[in-house]
């Protein structure tokens, strides 16, 4: 593929300034939330002197721009700060929790794609048929259902009544020893270790939260697929393919291929968004993921977990967008050449 490297190089150039901008904005936004960690850490009985001493120790007595500078300097040395709640380095916390969220979101999104794209295509190619109507109704409902509510309904049906899934408490049974960490995905790691008991437990714990995220997020993917494929089917070249006597299935396949960039875009946006957006589902299932960690940080003026989460999510999203750019490049010969 001629032109791919310069094309990517150009994208890479923007990554560092983008990350810097994201951190800058997040830092000042979080700092603008009222609440003093020193007071929260020492509790209501602390003396003024003790609070002042702790503030000095934490570097909170410096001006905000200086605090940001120190944060950046530490960051360059691989130090994301320490969470006062867990009293552990944020990087360690996140390396443990981020894969938990990522595993949940990745499988949830895969399910959403498996549901959304085929239904979207089917409803676009049978615009006025019953499939189209079902897809429309689904798109509307899925957009209107809160994910945590769906999660509770699913728990009620499949855990409380049918008892076919484990209790919504974490990623794996307490009695099962987690596999050694390689990727951080329990399903993948247990397979790598050949530990079938761990795999079965991790997979069964994933069922309901993945089902929740999949069903809810299939909505936007379905809508986007349907509207784009429909537009492509009304385009000049689809009409020409019909005039040329190409079979309907082939015309629809070509339309889908032309619609892929839009579908990939919505998927990538959902992927980045869900890292934080799945937090309510994480809470319902006591997932112990990164979203939950960050929300605790926001609520308790624990700034470093929040910044760490923002940074990791941003890096992740940028890589997703990079992958998307490569996909665009592979799909559309008009791009970047």
Partner 1 sequence: MLNSAATDVSAANGGTEATAAGPPMLAVRGLTVEFAAMAGAAVTAVRDFDLTIQPGEIFGLVGESGAGKTTLARALLRLPPEPGRIAAGEIRLAGRNLMELNETEMQRLRGRDLSMIVPNPRAELNPLLTVGEQIATMTRVHLRVPSREARRMALDMLRAVQIPDPERRMGAFPHEMSGGMAQRIVIAIALICSPKFIVSDDATSGLDVTVQAQILELLRRLVLDRGSAMLFITRDIGITAHFCDRVAVMYDGEVMELAAREDFFFRPRHPYTVMLMAAFSHNQRLRRMWSRPEALPGAAEPAGACRYVARCPLAQDRCRAEHPALRELALGHFARCHFPVRP
The DSSP call for residue 155 is I
CB of 263 to partner 1, least distance (A): 14
Helix/strand/coil for 89: strand
User: Looking at the DSSP assignment, which residues form a beta bridge with residue 89?
Assistant: 82
Nearest one of 214, 254, 216 to 233, comparing CA atoms: 254
**Gap between the Cα atoms of 99 and 90, Å rounded:** 14
From 78-86, 142-150, 252-260, 271-279, span contacting partner 1 (CB under 8 A): 252-260
Chain length of the chain: 337
Residue 333: half-sphere exposure toward Cβ, Cα within 13 Å: 0
Among 17, 34, 43, 333, binds partner 1 (CB under 8 A): 333
- Judged by CB under 8 A, does residue 250 bind partner 1? yes
**What is the size of the binding site for partner 1 (CB under 8 A)?**
20
Token output for 88: 């552990």
Rounded to the nearest 10 degrees, the angle between the axes of helix 248-277 and helix 236-243 is 150
Token output for 42: 């020492």
Using an 8 Å Cβ cutoff, are 320 and 271 in contact? yes
**Residue placing its CB nearer to partner 1 in the complex, 158 or 329:** 329
Helices (H) and strands (E) in the chain, counts: 15, 0
CB of 129 to partner 1, least distance (A): 15
**Which region, left, alpha or beta, applies to residue 47 given φ > 0 means left and ψ of -120 to 50 means alpha?**
beta
**Gap between the Cα atoms of 99 and 114, Å rounded:** 22
CB of 223 to partner 1, least distance (A): 23
CB of 250 to partner 1, least distance (A): 7
Of 180-239, binders to partner 1 (CB under 8 A) are 236-237, 239
CB of 239 to partner 1, least distance (A): 8
Among 137, 240, 299, 323, binds partner 1 (CB under 8 A): 240
- Judged by CB under 8 A, does residue 243 bind partner 1? yes
CB of 207 to partner 1, least distance (A): 38
- Judged by CB under 8 A, does residue 244 bind partner 1? yes
**Gap between the Cα atoms of 286 and 251, Å rounded:** 46
Among 195, 241, 282, 302, binds partner 1 (CB under 8 A): 241
- Judged by CB under 8 A, does residue 332 bind partner 1? yes
Residues 6+ apart with CB under 8 A from 104: 206, 209, 210, 213, 278, 281, 282, 287, 289
Helix/strand/coil for 81: coil
From 57-65, 171-179, 266-274, 328-336, span contacting partner 1 (CB under 8 A): 328-336
- Judged by CB under 8 A, does residue 249 bind partner 1? no
CB of 254 to partner 1, least distance (A): 6
Q: Binding marks (x or -) toward partner 1, 254..293, rule CB under 8 A?
A: x--xx-----------------------------------
- Judged by CB under 8 A, does residue 248 bind partner 1? yes
Token output for 292: 């939950």
Nearest one of 282, 264, 258 to 108, comparing CA atoms: 282
**Residue placing its CB nearer to partner 1 in the complex, 47 or 244:** 244
Among 12, 140, 169, 242, binds partner 1 (CB under 8 A): 242
**Residue placing its CB nearer to partner 1 in the complex, 162 or 243:** 243
Among 169, 183, 247, 319, binds partner 1 (CB under 8 A): 247
Residues that bind partner 1 (CB under 8 A): 236-237, 239-248, 250, 254, 257-258, 331-334
């Amino acid at each position: 593929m001629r032109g791919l490297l310069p094309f990517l190089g150009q994208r890479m150039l923007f990554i560092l300034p983008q990350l810097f901008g994201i951190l800058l904005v997040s830092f000042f936004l979080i700092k603008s939330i009222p609440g003093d960690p020193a007071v929260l850490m020492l509790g209501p009985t602390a003396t003024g002197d003790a609070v002042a001493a702790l503030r000095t120790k934490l570097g909170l007595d410096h001006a905000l721009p200086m605090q940001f500078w120190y944060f950046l300097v530490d960051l360059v040395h691989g130090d994301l700060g320490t969470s006062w709640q867990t009293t552990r380095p944020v990087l360690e916390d996140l390396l443990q929790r981020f894969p938990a969220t990522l595993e949940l979101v990745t499988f949830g999104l895969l399910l959403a794609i498996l549901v959304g794209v085929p239904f979207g295509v089917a409803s676009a190619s049978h615009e006025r048929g019953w499939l189209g109507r079902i897809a429309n109704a689904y798109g509307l409902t899925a957009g209107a259902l809160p994910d945590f509510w769906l999660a509770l309904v699913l728990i009620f049906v499949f855990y409380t009544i049918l008892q076919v899934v484990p209790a919504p408490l974490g990623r794996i049974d307490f009695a099962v020893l987690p596999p050694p960490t390689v990727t951080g995905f329990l399903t993948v790691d247990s397979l790598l270790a050949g530990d079938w008991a761990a795999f079965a437990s991790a997979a069964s714990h994933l069922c309901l939260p993945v089902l929740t995220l999949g069903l809810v997020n299939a909505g936007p993917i379905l809508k986007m697929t349907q509207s784009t494929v429909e537009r492509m089917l009304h385009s000049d070249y689809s009409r020409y393919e019909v005039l040329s006597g190409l079979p309907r299935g082939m015309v629809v396949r070509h339309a889908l291929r032309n619609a892929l960039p839009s579908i990939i875009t919505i998927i990538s946006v959902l992927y980045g968004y869900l890292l934080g957006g799945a937090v309510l589902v994480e809470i319902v299932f006591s997932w112990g993921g990164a979203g939950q960690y960050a929300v605790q940080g926001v609520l308790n003026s624990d700034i470093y977990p929040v910044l760490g989460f923002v940074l990791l999510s941003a890096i992740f999203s940028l890589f997703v967008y990079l992958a998307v750019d490569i996909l665009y490049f592979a799909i559309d010969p008009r791009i970047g050449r």
